[in-house]
Amino acid sequence: MMREALKLAALHAMRGVLLKFVLPVVVVIVLVGGLIGGIVAAIFGGTGTAAAAGDCTISGGTGGKKTAVHASQVEIAKAIDEGVREIGFSGKVSRLTIIAAFGESSLQNIGYGDGAINPDGTVATSIGILQQQDSWGTREERMNPKVAAQLFVLGPKRGGGGLADTAGWADMSETAAIHAVQKNADPSHYVSSVAPADAVIKEAGIDVNRSGKEYNDGTEHKSGGNGSAQGSSSGGCGTGRAGGDAGAGDTYPWIARTPGPGVYVEDLQGFYYGECTSYTMWKLNELAGASGDDPTNWPIGNNKGGNGAHLGNAAEWRDGWIARGWRVSTTPVAGSVAWWGAFGGSGIGEAGHVAWVDAVLDDGKVILSEYNNPSAAPPGHKYSKRAPAISTAQAYLVPPDEFIKKSEPKNEEKNAEESASSNSSEEPQPQPQDAATPPEEATPRRWSGG
């Protein structure tokens, strides 16, 4: 009995200690932890909490999610744009420099290096928004966003070797053009920075179509240029000229051969039946006059058309298109390919997505048709046609004129054309040519998307 009484007394004593000392300490820890968590969330935009004052949220970020844009990022983007404008370069140059800075520092002016090792074994001295080393300029120059941007364009110490001296950069993808200057260990490093950087650019009100030089020889970029490859911007960037066939239906020639979700059968174009890439490639060939279900003599394919540059998964189509020397537009074009990169929209995964622009309406809305719409339910290898809407595509891949079938003219018009052509000295159009299958294609791989 005495033993039980001693145990009970000890238990009450322990409770007293817990209530008097331990519990207050726990409360203090929780309060301090909550305060620290609130500060961190305010700085970085924690999940499920309001962003810090001065921040905003822009739609159209990676994967169709909302992209938090911080006021400090907007200010640095404006400084970059000001620096680029001061030296007479275009809005396209400003955009690429901002994307580069986002990829290097998330648009933060970092005053210390990351301890990386250079190829020669020395420790990197990278600082600033573009993580430029000592060879680029003084510490003060590299830590000044406006000046750092000018160094990126003009080269180290403004002595050449920057973006303005990179041959053909305006026709490259963003990551390829930036890599040519920054020499990142991963040439694809900047792909994931495009969408969030574009969100910052939108919030900052920067005119990416501003005219100006693109190269040191004074070559200018004019907005709305014809035939040249243009870099993409975030979805909903402008509206295209009205045209196309709003009433077009499903003309896919292999409906009966298309398997259900999760089953992949090659379609002889280099893609798989029922995938977004297979349907869109068919629409390109249909536009070129193809018919039937045998693609042997069709002019365009995964490794066929132009110089035969490889297309691959949907996410890779834009770079392949540019490599073929074909036009990429930032505004909708009827009879073109609507393109989304990896994680470029709601439901879109790493393989990206493509669809066909059936029509662009007078009000700028776009009618798209596709197979394997990532947002459709049930999903998988099915045709769908979207209601007219402002397109969210990141770019539009425009087929060359030589692949577009012309309508047969009336007899009198045809005779006049034939008479004129007999005296014409116009050189024949280049014929599409096949390219050898790239070495990596020796092992079958699914080229898909959506």
Sign of CA dihedral 239, 242, 243, 249: positive
Whether 394 is covered by a domain: the verdict is yes
Residue 160 shares a structural domain with residue 260: no
Whether 316 is covered by a domain: the verdict is yes
Residue 252 shares a structural domain with residue 293: yes
Low-confidence ranges of the chain (pLDDT < 50): 1-67, 221-240, 406-447
Residue type present at position 134: D
Residue 198 shares a structural domain with residue 320: no
Residue 330 shares a structural domain with residue 181: no
Rounded to whole angstroms, the Cα distance separating 330 from 379 reads 28
Name the domain boundary from 199, 217, 235: 217
Cβ contact 274:448 at 8 Å: no
Whether 417 is covered by a domain: the verdict is no
Residue 298 shares a structural domain with residue 385: yes
Q: Identify the pLDDT of residue 300.
A: 92
Residue 288 shares a structural domain with residue 384: yes
Residue type present at position 393: A
Owning domain of residue 260: 243-406+431-437
Residue 204 shares a structural domain with residue 290: no
Residue 371 shares a structural domain with residue 279: yes
Whether 146 is covered by a domain: the verdict is yes
Q: Compute the half-sphere exposure of residue 313: CA atoms within 13 Å on the CB side of its CA.
A: 16
Whether 185 is covered by a domain: the verdict is yes
Neighbouring-strand partners of residue 18: none
Name the domain boundary from 178, 202, 217: 217
Name every residue whose Cβ is closer than 8 Å to that of residue 131 and which is 6 or more positions away in sequence: 104, 105, 110, 113, 114
Name the domain boundary from 153, 183, 217: 217
Whether 446 is covered by a domain: the verdict is no
Name every residue whose Cβ is closer than 8 Å to that of residue 35 and which is 6 or more positions away in sequence: none
- Take residue 387 and report the two structure tokens written for it: 């209601």
Q: What is the pLDDT of residues 137-163, one digit of tens each?
A: 999 999 999 999 999 999 999 888 899
Torsion of the alpha carbons at 149, 152, 158 and 159, rounded to the nearest 10: 180
Rounded to whole angstroms, the Cα distance separating 171 from 355 reads 23
Q: Identify the pLDDT of residue 78.
A: 96
Rounded to whole angstroms, the Cα distance separating 126 from 396 reads 37
Whether 329 is covered by a domain: the verdict is yes
Rounded to whole angstroms, the Cα distance separating 317 from 302 reads 9
Three-class HEC string of the chain: CHHHHHHHHHHHHHHHHHHHHHHHHHHHHHHHHHHHHHHHHHHHCCCCCCCCCCCEEECCCHHHCCEEECHHHHHHHHHHHHHHHHCCECHHHHHHHHHHHHHHHCCCCCCCCCCCECCCCCECCCECCCCECHHHCCHHHHCCHHHHHHHHHHCHHHCCCCHHHCCCHHHCCHHHHHHHHHCCCCCCCCHHHHHHHHHHHHHHCCCCCCCEECCCCCCEECCCCCCCCCCCCCCCCCCCCCEECCCCCCCCCCHHHCCCCCCCCECCCCCECCCHHHHHHHHHHHHCCCCCCCHHHCCCECCECCCCCCCCCHHHHHHHHHHCCCCEECCCCCCCEEEECCCCCCCCCCCCEEEEEEEECCCCCEEEEEECCCCCCCCCCCEEECCCECCCCCEEECCCHHHCCCCCCCHHHHHHHHHHHHCCCCCCCCCCCECCCCHHHHCCCCCCCC
Q: Identify the pLDDT of residue 17.
A: 42
Residue 296 shares a structural domain with residue 350: yes
Residue 68 shares a structural domain with residue 140: yes
Length of the chain: 450
Cβ contact 308:217 at 8 Å: no
Whether 265 is covered by a domain: the verdict is yes
Rounded to whole angstroms, the Cα distance separating 87 from 103 reads 23
Q: What is the pLDDT of residues 383-393, one digit of tens each?
A: 999 999 888 88
Residue 192 shares a structural domain with residue 257: no
Per the structure, the count of domains in the chain is: 2
- Take residue 421 and report the two structure tokens written for it: 């052509």
Residue 308 shares a structural domain with residue 373: yes
CATH number, domain with residue 301:
3.90.1720.10
